[in-house]
Amino acid sequence: MNLKQILLTFLENNLFLKNGTCPICGKVLFVTDRFLCRQCEDELPIINNPTCEKCGRPIFRQDRQLCTPCAKHNLPFAGGYAHLRYEAIGKNLVHAIKFKDRPHLGIWVGTQMGQVIAKKSWVKEIDLIIPVPLHPNRLEERGYNQSEKIAQGIMEAITQAGVNKKALTLGSQYLIRSRDTPHQIGQGREERLRNLTGAFTVKQIEAIQNKTVLLVDDVLTTGATLAETGATLLEAGVAQVCIATVCAVAE
Ligand SMILES: [Zn+2]
Ligand SMILES: [Zn+2]
């Protein structure tokens, strides 16, 4: 290695992040900038208006506790948290975690979420954190399950906050996607649900009996995916299901 290469390697290892650039705007990132540049981080559309008690989706009427999908379809969630509105930088962030090979960005956003979840009343009840699984075909394509990375970050932050006295564990192995489903973009709720019925299977039923599970997914749109995974877990003997998503579409 000549001197120039040694110097470049040193700079790459000590000055710049592994992924090199901000996934939103493309600006070069130094190690101190973490995973998004300061400006993009400041502009994240964090949800700060009233939210649905069950799923965490933003609602715009003060006189209600539930969003329309939760009220109408009686979705099976005991509590929920959504971090960002599914728009602008929120949308770009999820896209980068899913499609731009940025697993560490998923862990980072998970820790941001976990710090807020640590203040929720239901955090004390969680025994297991389970990411919505990908079908093995998709997992091979992507190299990682983005929801598992997010779940990992959430668990780290909750553990660090010391608010959950249980032996909180990541239970990715307990739920699998046994059937590959077509991309659901553009489909209505009924069609999504039809495609998803029976798509998930619980493994090691005895390990989840009477547990409270925090289900983690990247985006909450109609709620069909989380409703189906939640129902699968409840049928298998889980006591209650809470949910956490990076982005939620407002009702
Ligand atoms: Zn940026
Ligand atoms: Zn809701």
**Nearest ligand atom owner, CA of 220:** 2
DSSP secondary-structure letter at 203? S
Decide if 37 is inside a domain. Answer: yes
146 CA to middle of ligand 1, Å?
Answer: 20
Decide if 227 is inside a domain. Answer: yes
Distance CA 225, CA 94 (A): 16
188 CA to middle of ligand 2, Å?
Answer: 17
Decide if 12 is inside a domain. Answer: yes
CA dihedral over 71, 75, 76, 78, signed as positive or negative: negative
Pair (200, 241) in one structural domain = yes
Average pLDDT, the chain: 90
Neighbours of ion ligand 2 (CB under 5 A): 52, 54-55, 57, 67, 70
pLDDT at 63: 84
247 CA to middle of ligand 2, Å?
Answer: 13
Pair (162, 92) in one structural domain = yes
Pair (23, 55) in one structural domain = no
Please count the structural domains in the chain.
Answer: 2
pLDDT band at 16 (very low <50, low <70, confident <90, very high): low
Pair (148, 49) in one structural domain = yes
Reduced to 3 states (helix: H, G, I; strand: E, B; else coil), residue 150 is helix
Pair (30, 102) in one structural domain = no
Query: Would you list the DSSP string of 73-126?
Result: HT---SEEEEEEESSHHHHHHHHHHHHSS-HHHHHHHHHHHHHHHTTSGGGGG-
Burial of 156 (C-beta count, 10 Å sphere; 0-12/13-18/19+): middle
Decide if 196 is inside a domain. Answer: yes
Decide if 187 is inside a domain. Answer: no
Structural domain containing residue 21: 1-43
Decide if 140 is inside a domain. Answer: yes
Pair (59, 105) in one structural domain = yes
200 CA to middle of ligand 1, Å?
Answer: 36
pLDDT at 193: 72
- Residue-wise pLDDT for 91-141, tens only, equals 999 999 999 889 999 999 999 999 999 999 999 999 999 999 999 999 999
pLDDT at 156: 97
Pair (244, 196) in one structural domain = yes
